[in-house]
Amino acid sequence: MATITPTPPTPTRSSMHLKTPSLPRWAPLLVIAIAVAASAMLGLLLGWGPVGIAVVAVVLYLVGVPLWSRLVEDGRRAKDRMMTGLVWTAFVLALIPLVTLIWKVVAEGLPQINAEFLTYSMRNVIGDQQGGIYHAIMGTLLVTAWAAIISIPVGIFCGIYLVEYGKTSRLARWITFLVDVMTGIPSIVAGLFAYALFVLFFGEGVRMGFGGSVALSLLMIPIVVRSTEEMLKLVPDELREASYALGVPKWRTVSKVVLPTAMSGIITGVTLAVARIIGETAPLLIIAGKTDGLNMNMFSEPVTTLPVFIYFSYTQPGLPPEAGQARAWGAALVLIVIVMALNLGARAIGKFFAPKKGR
């Protein structure tokens, strides 16, 4: 006799759970408020400082949100909320020194910024006279410009060789190894090398701006090579193959197809490399020297840059020392503004040269 298996009942709308329970959007804010209140109460009772209260509040938040999520939602969502809290905590911790530094430099340096400070040099400045940093600004721009003139062609052509021509050859492997080594050398070693090189031609005690540019180029070239290499690797091989299929020679494919495609990333890398070297002090102390007046000749006499000016103004401020230290803070603010402008310019230039997307 055949048996009939009963069909299981179809779940009704009321028995189907289409949405799992979840915490409301304001739950993290509520936990933050409770954690801050509880930590502040404990801090007042136990005599903690602001740092202790903040640390306990963060710990209570990182424990409270995942625990609440575990009770209401599930373990997976609780782990996600815990990792999200850790990421935000790390982000805030990273911002604290940056914001503190900018606040300190702006607070100390902004009162020094005026037309005289930006357009006069330190020639014949005595005592608490204000003076200016015009000679240091021009020295920074000239030394950095010459370093870029040396580094950009060498770095870009080296990157092109590594990606388009050398690839797995022995020479390319050696170049890659040397670039990696140069990336990690201390900046003062670059200054010592430039000084030793120029001593061979000009004798002991040589000081000139071009020597500082040579030292900075040793630090800039590896960055340009690496950025160029990585940007060229991102260019699809299909573009190269399509150009070769049309009978275009390799050098023209590189110059007309590959480089324009990667140009935005290369320019961004070059600009960031310039921003990296513009604040170097140690190499310029050794080879570029220091002067109180403006020197536009890069091949004769010392040239003062903003980092060197800041160093001497703070370590040898003169009498009264407050005037020299105030000038150091003002020069530091100007240097930060220049670096920030370079970074913003890199983004704008990279966006301008980015390949246009078709519809």
pLDDT digits (tens, 9 = 90+) for 277-303: 998 888 999 998 888 888 888 888 889
Task: Please report, as a single letter, which amino acid is at residue 67.
Answer: L
Which pLDDT band holds residue 9 (cuts at 50, 70, 90)?
low
Give the largest CA-CA distance in the chain: 119
Q: Retrieve residue 328's tokens.
A: 């150091």
Distance CA 230, CA 181 (A): 17
Where b means 16+ CB within 10 Å and e means fewer, 196-230 reads: eebeeeeeeebbbbbbbbbbbbbbbbbbbbbbbbe
> What pLDDT is recorded for position 16?
46
Distance CA 149, CA 213 (A): 9
Q: Retrieve residue 339's tokens.
A: 């670096």
- Nearest alpha-carbon partner for 35 in 60, 53, 52, 54: 60
Surface-to-core class of residue 245, CB atoms within 10 Å of its CB (0-12 exposed, 13-18 middle, 19+ buried): exposed
For the entire predicted model, the pTM comes to: 0.79
Surface-to-core class of residue 133, CB atoms within 10 Å of its CB (0-12 exposed, 13-18 middle, 19+ buried): buried
The length of the chain in residues reads 359
Residues 6+ away with beta carbon under 8 Å from 304: 135, 136, 139, 288, 289, 290, 291, 292, 295
Which pLDDT band holds residue 44 (cuts at 50, 70, 90)?
confident
Looking at the chain, which residues constitute the CATH 1.10.3720.10 domain(s)? 119-353
What average pLDDT does this structure show over 106-127?
85
Residue range 119-353 forms a domain whose CATH class is mainly alpha
Distance CA 61, CA 55 (A): 10
> What pLDDT is recorded for position 156?
93
DSSP structural state of residue 164: I
pLDDT > 80? residue 12: no
- 143-180 pLDDT, tens digit per residue, is 999 999 999 999 999 999 999 888 878 888 898 899 98
> What pLDDT is recorded for position 6?
57
- 218-263 pLDDT, tens digit per residue, is 999 999 999 999 999 988 889 888 988 988 898 899 988 899 888 8
